[in-house]
Amino acid sequence: MRYYKKPKINYIESLPEKNSFVSEGETVLVIYDLLLSEIEEFKAWIEQFEYIYGIMAGEALKSIKSFPEHFSTISNKISNISKKSLKIIAIGGGSVGDFSGFFASVYKRGVPLLHIPTTWLAAIDSAHGGKNALNSTIAKNQIGTFYFPEEIFICKNIISYLPDDQTLSGFGEIVKTAMLSGEPLWSKLPTQSKVSLDKIWSLIPEIVDIKYGIVSKDPFEDTSVRQVLNLGHTIGHILEKRFDLPHGEAVAQGLHFTLDWSIEKKYLVKADYDIMKSYLSSYFPCIKDKISEHMTKEMTLQLLLSDKKLDLNQKLNFVFLKGLGQPYVESVNVVDIISKLYHHSWIS
């Protein structure tokens, strides 16, 4: 029996006190991004824990090929801890969260999981929603489980160390959420050229609530309700994989294509198109001119065919926009996507 309970979410300035999430008799294994060891606050915090496992963040961590080795090393480390007293806490960005979530869900058929997301993207998106994934040798995110954490700590200080390109990546997901949900979030989006830490921080609870509002109606993707969260992602995933773009920046490019196709299909009126297109372009100029020469029809088809959301008829549910806050899901053939990408000069 699958069971969904919304995780407890804490918005805090500093890393959480150990006794706020470890009770007497419990032992935690902290799986952490090694890069965090350069941060003084983190160094002092991690010292309190006996069981720790540092890993390099990134897509290589999510490779199914390297998982057995990680699994053995971690299992050896924690072999003397009984399953009943063990908790896993993941501290890092989306790759660390995905890896740790998968590990927690399969280790002895599942042990409790907590997340401390350290990138905006993880704080807004990947730590929520209960999905984790490893990458197969062919495509991204093909092996995974639904496994909700019990608790999530979103800590401002630790996220503040993030470099600008990663901040922008998180902002791409924010723009997606605002296009998806419309007002009131849309009118609260920043307008200054550089997105400030405080501004993003102030928007996070509303964005996280919007995500849970959708996830709680369809926690295990049994219906199509959650599909709207994929706005911008069909093309975003292709660009992320092909050009190694940060996830949120790739999604922002996917939003450009979504807007262009939505107006062409007359789902979107010009006034709404202009408002969204001009806001999106001010932070994420469309880069189709730079990428089209490196993307052939054949290559794009291969990338789309490896999309796990594809059905047997080679169709997938594409999220269009009928207005601000009005996503519209429609089944489209991959061949139509290729032809639209070509027609709009995204590929050659």
Ligand X SMILES: NC(=O)c1ccc[n+]([C@@H]2O[C@H](COP(=O)([O-])OP(=O)(O)OC[C@H]3O[C@@H](n4cnc5c(N)ncnc54)[C@H](O)[C@@H]3O)[C@@H](O)[C@H]2O)c1
Degrees (nearest 5) of the Cα angle 31, 35, 39?
100
Q: For residue 53, what are the β-bridge partners?
A: 31
In our burial notation (b when 16+ CB lie closer than 10 A, e otherwise), range 252-276 reads bbbbbbbbbbbbeeebbeeebbeeb
Please choose, out of 4-12, 125-133, 299-307, 325-333, the segment that lies near ligand X by the rule CB under 6 A.
125-133
Does 234 interact with ligand X (rule: CB under 6 A)? Answer: no
Does 129 interact with ligand X (rule: CB under 6 A)? Answer: yes
Please choose, out of 88-96, 202-210, 316-324, 327-335, the segment that lies near ligand X by the rule CB under 6 A.
88-96
Please choose, out of 44-52, 159-167, 254-262, 305-313, the segment that lies near ligand X by the rule CB under 6 A.
159-167
CA distance 4 to 70: 28
Please choose, out of 3-11, 123-131, 214-222, 273-281, the segment that lies near ligand X by the rule CB under 6 A.
123-131
> For residue 55, which phi and psi values (nearest 5 degrees)?
-135, 155
Q: Which amino acid is at 84?
A: K
| Residues belonging to the chain | 348
Are 7 and 150 within 8 A, CB to CB?
A: yes
Using CB under 6 A as the binding rule, the residues of this chain from 52 to 81 that contact ligand X are 57-59, 62
> For residue 333, which phi and psi values (nearest 5 degrees)?
-80, 145
- At its nearest, how many Å lie between ligand X and the CB of residue 187? 25
Are 326 and 238 within 8 A, CB to CB?
A: no
Cα–Cα nearest to 90, from 59, 124, 60, 119: 119
Q: Between residues 38 and 293, which has the closer beta carbon with respect to ligand X?
A: 38
Please pick, from the candidates 30, 88, 125, 262, the single residue that binds ligand X as defined by CB under 6 A: 125
Q: Between residues 114 and 268, which has the closer beta carbon with respect to ligand X?
A: 114
Does 93 interact with ligand X (rule: CB under 6 A)? Answer: yes
- At its nearest, how many Å lie between ligand X and the CB of residue 124? 9
Site residues (vs ligand X, CB under 6 A): 33, 35, 57-59, 62, 92-96, 98, 118-119, 121-122, 125-126, 129, 131-132, 141, 158-159, 161-162, 166, 169, 246-247
